Structures are given as structure tokens and as C-alpha cells.
Amino acid sequence: PHLAALVLARGGSKGIPLKNIKLLAGVPLIGWVLRAAIDAGVFHSIWVSTDHDEIEKVAKQFGAQVHRRSPEVSQDSSTSLEAITEFLNHHHEVDIVGNIQATSPCLHPSDLIKVADLIQKEGFDSVFSVVRRHQFRWSEVKKGENKMTEPQNLNPAKRYRRQDWPGELYENGSFYFAKRHLIEKGYLQGGKMAYYEMRAEHSVDIDIDIDWPIAEQRVLSFGYFGKEPLKEVKLLVCSIDGCLTNGRIYVTEDHKEMVSYDYRDIVGIDLLKKRGIQVRLISDRDCSKTLSAMQLGCVAKVNATNKLQVLKDWQEDMGLSWKEVAYLGNEESDVECLKQAGMSGVPADACAAAQKAAGYICKSRGGCGAVREFTEHIFLLLEKVNSARKQ
């Protein structure tokens, strides 16, 4: 049977405008779940249902197909079931829908693989995600009511200790898998049902965790970053024009070139060096005089007609795996390097091709703190590597 992943992502959002493609830890929010769905390898097709051009563009960048949903199912009052039903009406080849919520950025492929087995091999008609919580519930007393609250799941005279109480299962909304015949009857949950319990640290819902910086920290700690495990970065290669500088060249009357840079980026480079990470610079033009004036003390390659070959030479000379190499670029000439490096980033104003190839998109523009920001991103991921080692 044809199993399709379907992410619903309309353009309207009452809380955060275009929330579904807002950058979270350097990746569009929807990109986190699409990456997990693709790497799971269990779906015959992966779709994003949207009514917005920018969301369509991002979805395609991350390898998904796009279903343009109608205005009728794109309203604030529209339900997920209506949008899924419309999708099925246009895609008769689909037998099972895995509806994945775009706002669950800590979803991992391993979860999706296990759920696919439940519905494809064990014969369940619907499977949905839950999380275990240890919360005591009390009845609500509305204003003006002359009554007392009552315990719902505890005896106050004998309160459980957390370690002695298994807790309760709650839907967390990360995904709902259901077979076509069930959806056509108007249900996402029904028939032979099963729940799938997700780990609490992977149960992050941006609809609830609206505090974006907190959500970013959760994703950096517990998110899925790709098939290969992260390794400690030993080398950062940074494109000079458009990353270390803003890409503008000023020419004086006596034909001398001048560029500007942000001192925060120089601090970022110094911090990397203090952590034992080498920083090397690259440019496809001759900017040796500029580099000399900046006195950065970094190995640099100018007039690089083939940046990827330079990167490969450095990687081999230092005896590094690609997972130990980070790359910050901004132009089409950087695309292959961005794809090859284990950790890759671009400034906010990088070209579209570079943004598509990068794993992290900075909030800062080139020459305006992008190197410093990418440095902080590297440090955060290194904390994740060290934490994994301790575990």
C-alpha cells in the first residue's frame, strides 16, 4: 500500500506570521519534520499541503512535493481532516496518510519507522502519537459556582511520588497515521487503533511552546540533525566576500579597494581558535591586500577557481572527516562546499542556491555578524556532541 507523509502548512497563522517557515535554530520550522520524514525511508511520497507560495518554495527545497490546497480548506475554521480529505480526493494512489505536524521539530525518523511498521505490518487502521505526563488534575470551578474543586486522578491523602506513579498518556499531536477508508468515513482515529509513545524530550510543540528561544534550545539539544552522528568540528572554512565582509567593494579615486567588516566576526574567529578549531578563508577573487590589512592570522586561498577542490585538499591535508569540517558560504560557487561539509551555514542574504544547500541560515547578513552567529551555532552543536558522549 502507498504510504504518504502529509504536512499541513497553510500560510495563515494567528500567533506567528508564516510560522511554518520561520527559522528555528537556523532551519525553517517545516524543514525539521521533512528531514525526519525523508530520512525515515518508509514513505512512498512526501507532501506539503499549503496555500502559500513561500511555503511551497521551502517545501520543495527540502525535497517534498506540494499539494496546493483550496481556499475552502485554508480558513481559520478549517480542520485537519478536511484538508487531508481534499488531498486524498486528488491523490487516489495513496492508501495510508501519515499526517505529520509541522510544529513538532524534535520528531526523529526512528519514530516514523516504528509507526509505519504498526500500520503496515501489524494491521492497525490508525496510529497516533502520545507523551507520558506526570500531572495531577483537578476539576474546574467556574466563577460564581458554589462548590469545591475535586481531585481527578489522585488521592490527596496519599499522593504518589513521581517514581511510584506511571503517569498518564496524552496526545501530543506530532502525527496521526490513518488508512484511507477510515478518513473517508470522517475519522483520523478509529478502527483497530494504537498509540505510539514518544520520548518526552522529543515531544516539542511550537503551538504550545511559543517562546521561540526556548524551543530553539530544545531542538539543539534533542532535534534530529541527519543520518550521520555529529562530530566535533576541527576546521571552519569561511568565504570572504559576502560572509566575512558584506560583499561590497569601495574604490577610491586612486584606484584602491576598501571593504568593511564587523568586529563581532573577528571575535568569533578568535573564539574558534581558542577552542582549537582552525579557521581558513577562501575567495574566488584576489583579496590578498585586504586580508593582509585585517591581520587575522588565518590560512587563506584567493583566486580559488574551484573552491571544492581547495576544501578537499585542506580536509585531506589535515586528516579530517567531512563531519569535522564546517563551511560558511553565500554564493553559487559555495554550493558544492556547503553540501560536502558536515556543518554548513549561510548569511541571511545569501543567494537562493546557497540557502537551499545549507544546514543553517543565519539571522545576520554577511559582514554584519554572520560569522559570529555561526560560531555560536557551532559551539551549541559541540555541546550536543559532548552530551552524547557522556551518555
The more confident residue out of 302 and 16 is: 302
Which residues are marked as active site? 159
Q: Which helix or strand (DSSP H or E) is residue 326 part of?
A: strand 325-328
Give me 124's grid cell.
492497525
Q: Mean pLDDT over residues 303-317, rounded?
A: 94
Q: Is residue 183 located within the same domain as residue 311? A: no
CATH classification of the domain holding 365: 3.40.50.1000
Percent of the chain with pLDDT strictly greater than 90: 58
pLDDT value of position 254: 74
Q: Does residue 107 carry a pLDDT above 90?
A: yes
pLDDT value of position 219: 86
Query: Of 160, 189, 222, which closes a domain?
Result: 222
Does residue 369 fall inside a structural domain? yes
Q: Is residue 257 located within the same domain as residue 371? A: yes
Among 171-175, 203-207, 348-352, name the one with the lowest average pLDDT.
203-207
Q: What does pLDDT average to over the chain?
A: 89
Cβ atoms of 59 and 30 within 8 Å: the answer is yes
Q: Does residue 210 carry a pLDDT above 60?
A: no
Does residue 311 fall inside a structural domain? yes
Query: Of 199, 222, 245, which closes a domain?
Result: 222
DSSP secondary structure letters along 134-161? ----B----TT------BSS--GGGPPP
Q: Mean pLDDT over residues 342-368, rounded?
A: 91
Q: Does residue 352 carry a pLDDT above 70?
A: yes
Task: Look at the alpha carbons of 360, 364, 367, 370 in this order and tell me if their dihedral is positive or negative.
Answer: negative
Does residue 379 fall inside a structural domain? yes
pLDDT value of position 286: 84
Q: Where are the beta strands (DSSP E) in 146-285?
A: 168-179, 193-198, 235-239, 250-251, 257-258, 278-282
Does residue 287 fall inside a structural domain? yes
Q: Is residue 210 located within the same domain as residue 247? A: no
Q: Is residue 181 located within the same domain as residue 312? A: no
Q: Is residue 132 located within the same domain as residue 17? A: yes
pLDDT value of position 129: 96
Cβ atoms of 301 and 282 within 8 Å: the answer is yes
Q: Does residue 20 carry a pLDDT above 70?
A: yes
Does residue 261 fall inside a structural domain? yes
Q: Is residue 106 located within the same domain as residue 212? A: yes
The boundaries of the domain holding residue 367 are 235-389
Q: Does residue 231 carry a pLDDT above 80?
A: no
Domain count, the chain: 2
Bridge partners, residue 299, by sequence: 280
CATH classification of the domain holding 39: 3.90.550.10
- HSE-up (13 A, CA, CB side) for residue 110: 10
Does residue 227 fall inside a structural domain? no
Q: Is residue 251 located within the same domain as residue 350? A: yes
Q: Does residue 391 carry a pLDDT above 60?
A: no
Q: Is residue 214 located within the same domain as residue 352? A: no
Q: Is residue 337 located within the same domain as residue 275? A: yes
Percent of the chain with pLDDT strictly greater than 70: 96
Confidence label for 388 from pLDDT (cuts 50, 70 and 90): low
Which tens digit of pLDDT belongs to each residue from 237-288? Answer: 999 989 998 877 777 777 777 777 788 999 999 999 998 999 999 998 887 7
Does residue 229 fall inside a structural domain? no
Which tens digit of pLDDT belongs to each residue from 40-78? Answer: 999 999 999 999 999 999 999 899 999 999 999 888 888
Does residue 38 fall inside a structural domain? yes
Query: Of 166, 195, 222, which closes a domain?
Result: 222
Give me 200's grid cell.
518526552
d(CA 385, CA 382): 5
Q: Is residue 186 located within the same domain as residue 298? A: no
Q: Is residue 67 located within the same domain as residue 215? A: yes
Q: Does residue 369 carry a pLDDT above 60?
A: yes
Q: Is residue 112 located within the same domain as residue 177? A: yes
Q: Mean pLDDT over residues 171-177, rounded?
A: 94
